[in-house]
Amino acid sequence: AQTVTQSQPEMSVQEAETVTLSCTYDTSESDYYLFWYKQPPSRQMILVIRQEAYKQQNATENRFSVNFQKAAKSFSLKISDSQLGDAAMYFCASFASTNKLIFGTGTLLAVQP
Amino acid sequence: DSGVTQTPKHLITATGQRVTLRCSPRSGDLSVYWYQQSLDQGLQFLIQYYNGEERAKGNILERFSAQQFPDLHSELNLSSLELGDSALYFCASSVGLANEQFFGPGTRLTVL
């Protein structure tokens, strides 16, 4: 079975600083994908970044990057130069042959001006 | 805007009633997924359709059913509603079976 764990219910960061959100997962599959989704107060689910398990290179999207440690089953999200608009709930998710996204419980990120 | 549309945005109904939530995927996407987000259960996968066929099922109650039509839009039917069914229901779509999913804005269901 797939599981996703986010151990940080809340995090806070100063504007322009860097913050890292943690995520660990468990799967018996060899072929899987990992995602970070952002859910702002509007409740819209927005895809932030995607990582294919077979790729060793960490994914990067502008100010967002991941640290994918396959052996440790860890998939953390780093947000650089944090902006007020980054304040949101962030969900880590995995996807494998079961054809469904398994979500963690989320990390609520506050950005302090 | 993800390109996925969901109607209605809000729905208020009473226990025991039946409602239908509608989803139109992004142009070209063949897969449609339904998720439920509630305070106590978090984000949970309900069901997936690919080009009209059911491909995966999650913890979907027997009172719930879904289908995907030939034009690829999908409907989620919820019947014999209970207070605990109050939640945000998301539809997501993807091109294939293993591509990133793009979420609609959700339908907020309130059961009184």
Over chain B (112 residues), the average pLDDT of each successive run of 10 is 94 97 96 93 92 92 96 97 96 84 96 96
CB-nearest to B90 from A45, A50, A102 is A45
Binding-face residues of A in 51-90 toward B, CB within 8 A: none
- Regarding predicted confidence, which is higher, A1 or B5? B5
Interface test with B, best of A45, A50, A55, A91 (most B CBs within 10 A): A45
Do B48 and A105 make contact, defined as CB atoms within 8 angstroms?
Answer: no
How close A16 gets to chain B, by Cα (Å)?
26
How close A34 gets to chain B, by Cα (Å)?
9
A 10 A CB-CB count for B28 gives 9
CB A93 within 8 A of CB A34: yes
Residues of B in contact with A91 (CB under 8 A): 43
| Antiparallel, parallel or unpaired: β A74-79 and A19-21 | antiparallel
Long-range contacts of B49-54 (CB under 8 A, 24+ apart): B49/B74, B50/B97
The C-alpha atoms of residue A99 and residue B57 are separated, in whole angstroms, by 9
Task: Write the pLDDT tens digit of every residue in B65-91.
Answer: 999 999 999 999 999 999 999 999 999
Task: Write the pLDDT tens digit of every residue in A45-83.
Answer: 999 999 999 998 999 999 999 999 999 999 999 999 999
CB A70 within 8 A of CB A76: no
DSSP state of B43: E
Q: Is A50 on the interface with B (CB under 8 A)?
A: yes
Q: What is the pLDDT of residue A20?
A: 98
Chain B residue with minimum CA distance to A42: B105
CB B4 within 8 A of CB B93: yes
